[in-house]
Structure 1
Amino acid sequence: MTAGKSWAAVTAAAVTVVFGWTEWRTWTASRDALPLGATDPRPIVYGECVLVLGNPLPILHRWRVRIAVRSTDPDRARFVFSGGAVRSKISEAQMMADYAVHELGVPARNVVIEDKSRTTVENITYSAPMMADSPAIKIASDTFHARRARMILRDESPALADKLVRARDYRPGEWGPLHAALVAFECYRERRAHSHSSRSSGGPAEPGH
């Protein structure tokens, strides 16, 4: 085998390993911070709520809307679009709702808008009253962001968190390079949080769960 072919084989193997690890990390994250048994597919419940978290980038918030729509039956669910006006005069929630109704066919009667929040914590805090009477709750966002939102909901409202059901945010191979970027960012974010916790406590932080 020539040197060129050897390097090609090594590169291909490395790419395969990175891709597999990325997909595994994303798959496991999609099942974190959920009640026991809520990681398995369940029949869609009439009146269930899908909370869709905003993002300033249209390409990302539209992806999140598509995740929301494929996670439920749009005719039977309530969609809470959450996100204030961050980089434009129109709120992220309104932009997502418009896309859902006009492009994806979500009935306008099933849409609720929360347009005050500017952080993930505020997404949860301001949307919680809109989800209180729902029999089941799904959070639609990219996988790691959705996991963080579920953790926040669990901390802020355990009763609502008990209603959580897994959304279909993870699909094998979907946006492969983006999955790798999101995993890399999540690793950076976790390392930064760990470092901050260590400095704040004056000692090593406990491992995250």
Structure 2
Amino acid sequence: MTTTPPAAAPRTPVTADDVKHAVRLALATLRKAPADAWQGKAGTLEWTCWDTVEHLADDLFSYASRFGLESPPQEREVPFLWEARTPGGPANAVHADPAAGPDGLLQVLEACGAFLVALVRLTPPEVRSYHVFGHSDPEGFAAMGVVETLVHTHDVAEGLGLDWEPPADLCARTLARLFPDAPTDTGPWPTLLWATGRAELPGRPRLTKWRWYGEPRAD
């Protein structure tokens, strides 16, 4: 498998503020959901909406943890114990207390997003840490956090019957950082959904396999 991204045009970097913005938008949408709707399936995923938000929070926490060490991991993720607490659900290190209800779940998401925002801001840009899709820099992990937030909020919004369409400029910056080979003649949000295997584009079938390029960009 190649790990060298295709050449791309100059771009605007993804920042900690982009992560913060993405999480705030997600929270504003998800807070509209009825309290009794969270056990339904999240879009085309096999997970429930609750499980998917826990997984998103876990992603953000995991990305932040890579930069919380004096020597960031280079061979594997930080070895938290990941475990599924529901049959077929995601294996997470982060779990929300069910007794706290949806409000508590979204507090967990907000906290984990804040961890990633803080660590991206504090970490020098030359630092690298492990990811299965390529050792990456703080900007790369910020972009990964944005992707996770946008697409999993899409999954959950589908399951909850909520409208969700993030800003085109946020999607475009994230595409340029992590998916430099994605088409540029289609809208950024539909393209991000296509790049993550969630939608078709005109003349381009839905992907059954996909990845991003985490390696730092030269541009």
Q: Tell me the TM-score normalized by structure 1.
A: 0.30
Question: Per chain length, whose mean CA-contact separation is higher, i.e. which structure has more relative contact order (CA < 8 Å, sep 6+)?
Answer: 2
Task: Please identify which structure carries the higher strand content.
Answer: 1
Q: Tell me the TM-score normalized by structure 2.
A: 0.29
Task: Please identify which structure carries the higher helix content.
Answer: 1
